Structure 1
């Protein structure tokens, strides 16, 4: 059961988005592996990246109405939420996934054939993304600490006065202003994290050639889809 109309609406969008993601995965896996089809590979990669960007565009619009819903989303399984970081996947995941694919040759061999120049660029990008992640973590910590700042302390004091029978005419307005500030801070953290996610994804794709990008995006989609399948299966078993 959704907690708000904004969550209901986004949940509906997400179900349709997942259907397209599944279709995109099939297209990624069925594309010809010959490097001579580079133009086709580029078109498919562009289509998949646009699909991801659509997700964040709709997410940001929905978050303006209910940002808290994205910090405890009901449209994800408990397993998916357990692996989330700041309302989504952790950017550094893409680097661990790339390393795993090179070691295990899954799902294709193209990522095994990365050049030394590519590996060096990926390493530098990984360092930059880790710094960005740390910056988001610090901002989230700052937002959490702000709960104990003077406005919230004053709010607690005013609420106590009301309980004691003292009428405070501006209490409702004060509450709205204080909470609006807190929610705006959480929205900022969410957007910062999403930007790092997109920066990590785009950064890796800029280093890979079209065929490697095809395999990389297929691996990301398979991981997300399988995590969801296992998570939903676990929920059904517990019912």
Structure 2
């Protein structure tokens, strides 16, 4: 069993550093997407569409690289990813298998489709001509074709099925924590803090299994993202990536704000908050 004192701290720092580099990269990709969308001169701007596709593949590559680094850093320390100390409490309350639910990607597509349609209707009623999305006329997420919607719906169902399978696996692992030899040792030990080889081996096995599930969940996230982008047009995918990155970064900031507000609040005996 490895010493989990100082080395464990160093690994957690490496995991947090990896996460921060990932967040910084997401911030950098936003202006790149906006710049290409702004350069798009018409709905049939093939050259800009090609550049958008190249950037979108880079973004998917970023995600794959990040997932690979997480797998490397999760060995025997995977539990850090299931409730990261570098996340805000709000983010950890919404976390699934060390990250977001892949099915949430579809909710974002549907939300953007609806919100952009509402904008277009509002502008039409106000007699505002020449509606332009971030990428030009007629190719926003509100213009998903029937074929695109059908493909997205089929993929959505498949992804939910995969999520349910993984959720059952993690539930089984959580139940194993109360199994032999951990339960018997906990019952028999007078001083739980003392080293115990059987418990250490059982917990190491637990962490390894959780690391495997983390890798499986990340693979599903990457695969789902890749397939959604294949269904969308270059501009629709760019709109989707912009929204997804803004949402991820915003959730972190909103969580930090709420966390600061929570620490500043004093709760009296009656349960009322006071500043």
Query: Which range, TM-score by smaller chain?
Result: 0.7 to 0.9
The residue aligned with 1:181 is 205
Question: Which structure ranks higher in relative contact order (CA pairs < 8 Å, sequence separation ≥ 6)?
Answer: 1
The residue aligned with 1:155 is 185
In structure 1, the gaps of 5 or more residues are: 164-170
What's the offset of the Cα at 1:127?
0.4
The residue aligned with 1:102 is 113
1:140 aligns with 2:164: no
Residue by residue over 1:158-187, the C-alpha shift from the partner in whole angstroms, topping out at 9 and shown as x without a partner, is 535x89xxxxxxx73322221112112211
Which has the higher Rg, Structure 1 or Structure 2? 2
Determine the C-alpha separation between the residues in 2 that align with 1:16 and 1:214: 21
What's the offset of the Cα at 1:65?
4.3
Per the normalisation by structure 2, the TM-score is 0.77
What's the offset of the Cα at 1:80?
1.5
1:118 aligns with 2:148: yes
* SS state at 2:15 partner: helix
In structure 2, the gaps of 5 or more residues are: 1-5, 120-132, 265-275
1:4 aligns with 2:9: yes
Determine the C-alpha separation between the residues in 2 that align with 1:15 and 1:196: 22
What's the offset of the Cα at 1:43?
1.1
Q: 2:73 aligns with which of 62, 68, 71?
A: 62
The residue aligned with 2:270 is none
CA contact 2:82–2:95 (8 Å) conserved in 1:
no
| Matched length | 230
What's the offset of the Cα at 1:90?
0.9
CA contact 1:6–1:65 (8 Å) conserved in 2:
no
1:224 aligns with 2:240: no
What's the offset of the Cα at 1:7?
1.1
Tell me the C-alpha RMSD between the 2 structures. 2.2
Please list every run of at least 4 consecutive aligned residues from structure 1 whose deviation after the TM superposition is greater than 6 angstroms. none
CA contact 2:60–2:222 (8 Å) conserved in 1:
no
What's the offset of the Cα at 1:15?
1.8
Per the normalisation by structure 1, the TM-score is 0.88
